Amino acid sequence: MSRIRPGIVFAALFMLCACSRSNDTLYKESGYAMGSLVEFTIYGIDEARAQAAVAAAQNDLSFLHGNFDPWHPGSLARMNSLFALGGRFTAATSVLPLIAKSTELSQRSGGLFNPAIGNLIRLWGFYKDDPPPTGPPPAPAQIAAMLAQQPRMSDLRVTGVEIESRNPAVVLDFGGIAQGYAADVLIEGFKLAGIRNAIVNISGDVRVIGTHGAAPWRIGIHNPRGQGVLASLQMNADESVVTSGDYERFYRYEGKRYHHILDPRTGMPAQGAASATVIDADAVFADAAATALMVAGVKDWHAVAKAMGIKSAMLVDDAGRVYMDPATAKRIHFEIDPPPPVVLSEPL
Amino acid sequence: MTRGDYAVLALCALTLPALFMRYGLPGSTGTQARITTGNAIYAQVPLSRAHIYRVPGALGISEIEVRDGRIRFNSSPCQGQQCVHSGWAKRGGEFIACVPNRVSISVLGQGAGGDYYDSINF
């Protein structure tokens, strides 16, 4: 048997150390924006530059929130009012990219992701946090009347900077995509500022670039049916992980739980999954895709994922069972003991 | 072994402890947690000492409990109680927030090795 050279042992141990993560130049800052918690993490630059970059990002976020909030006076609220009146008008140019992206993703999801159902969201009361909705749920006749109006993203016609809706019932609410879009925008801003390693976390929607020193960024995924973290994931250098879950916003009424992710087909809170997680390069895609998979539920998620071009996804059902594709299973490290039962799908 | 091998071993003995002290290894439980209210730090608390902190927030008082090296929201004036249902946190980087009351808890990683989680997806 050949000897193990001490030099090799030293090199291996040195590499082990090098793979660990230094906090020497780690800058973290959190705050509240877009009605939720926002966290910035930047590695590898001095604190003054990191602070300046975060301040700029917060300004961008404030601008985006003002444009994308449908329930307070602003660009989107104005556009929603004009959709109801009919006719063509000049759109807010800052909203047009999100309309284009939403229209594309709504079509790819077969309408399971549908930001045109703002009226339904308003009916349920899930547009307000202060005070949050407490029930009762809307009457079935009210829901049926809104479904009959069939508001869809394809009702919108955009010509240059002008827009019109063929359906006065279209009310845009980008709650299922705006945070992912904002995470992408802020990361692009960081890149332009020369930042190579960072995390933007907007209300749990995570987009990363680079690494934490010599190691990849490690993200914990919340357990929807238990406490703390269900699993962790080591991120690639430019990647997002977004989860939609029924635990984020809900109320109980007469013993029944009603959550905020509405199924556009039934007008009711989506059934069949407690959470849906999507991993993708773009947070905007992952955000819309997670919403669509949450609506699809554990029965139909795989077909919807294939139709949308999702490459990596994980769902958790009410019983805590985990559904995922083999590529995702290779990357997921469960943090609970014992680990949950897993149902592996065909590859995506 | 040659004299060169002995020299490498001696170098290992001298440098590795320093490297571990400097960089550490992630995965350890946290020893402290930072509690914030609004955008301000309310307190940085040891997880070794059982205590209940009453933290004022936008809606009222969030009660935060530290016990057995862990930390949680014991009660909250918010409607959804998501923060309370999140349960205990103990690993560096774990994070619980009560968004309506603007109160949050971050578990801080042990030593210079940093947090086990860099961020939490929820």
Read off the pLDDT of residues A24-81 as tens digits, 9 standing for 90 and up. Answer: 689 999 988 877 889 999 999 999 999 999 999 999 999 999 999 999 999 999 999 9
CA angle A185, A292, A30 (to 5 degrees): 40
What is the pLDDT of chain A when averaged over all its residues? 92
Read off the pLDDT of residues B23-37 as tens digits, 9 standing for 90 and up. Answer: 445 455 778 999 999
Query: How confident is the model at residue B24, as a pLDDT?
Result: 47
Q: Report the distance separating Cα B13 and Cα A76, nearest Å.
A: 64
Query: How confident is the model at residue B72, as a pLDDT?
Result: 96
DSSP secondary structure letter of residue A318 = T
Query: How confident is the model at residue A16, as a pLDDT?
Result: 47
CATH class of residue range A71-165: mainly alpha
Read off the pLDDT of residues B56-73 as tens digits, 9 standing for 90 and up. Answer: 999 999 999 999 999 999
Query: How confident is the model at residue A106, as a pLDDT?
Result: 98
CA angle A106, A83, A72 (to 5 degrees): 90
Measured between CA atoms, how close is B93 to chain A, in angstroms?
Answer: 9
Domain A216-348 has CATH 3.40.190.10: no
Query: How confident is the model at residue A2, as a pLDDT?
Result: 46
| ipTM of the complex model | 0.91
Nearest to A224 by CA among A341, A327, A322, A113: A322
In terms of CATH, what superfamily is B32-113? N-utilization substance G protein NusG, insert domain (2.60.320.10)
Across the interface, which of A17, A233, A241 has its CB nearest the CB of B20? A17
Q: Report the distance separating Cα B95 and Cα A222, nearest Å.
A: 10
Angle between helices A75-85 and A47-68 in degrees, nearest 10: 20
Report CB contact under 8 Å: B112, A22.
yes
- Rounded mean pLDDT, A229-249: 94
Residues of B in contact with A26 (CB under 8 A): 114
- Rounded mean pLDDT, A109-136: 90
Across the interface, which of B91, B104, B112 has its CB nearest the CB of A23? B112
* Domain ranges for chain A: 71-165, 216-348
**Whole-structure pTM value:** 0.88
Tokens representing residue B28 in the block: 């350890």
Query: How confident is the model at residue A227, as a pLDDT?
Result: 81
Q: Which residue has the higher pLDDT, A140 or A11?
A: A140
Q: Is the pLDDT of residue A232 over 80?
A: yes
Report CB contact under 8 Å: B120, A248.
no
Read off the pLDDT of residues A266-309 as tens digits, 9 standing for 90 and up. Answer: 999 999 899 999 999 999 999 999 999 999 999 999 999 999 99
Report CB contact under 8 Å: A206, B5.
no
Query: How confident is the model at residue A17, as a pLDDT?
Result: 45
The radius of gyration of chain A's CA atoms, rounded to the nearest angstrom, is: 22
Residue of A nearest to B18 (CA): A17
Which DSSP string do the residues of A320-333 spell out, in sequence order? --EEE-HHHHHHEE
Chosen for mutation from B117, B118, B120 (greatest number of chain A CBs closer than 10 Å) is B118
Q: Is the pLDDT of residue B7 over 60?
A: yes
Read off the pLDDT of residues A128-183 as tens digits, 9 standing for 90 and up. Answer: 766 778 889 999 999 999 999 999 999 999 999 999 999 999 999 999 999 999 99
Q: Report the distance separating Cα B94 and Cα B121, nearest Å.
A: 10
Q: Is the pLDDT of residue B22 over 70?
A: no
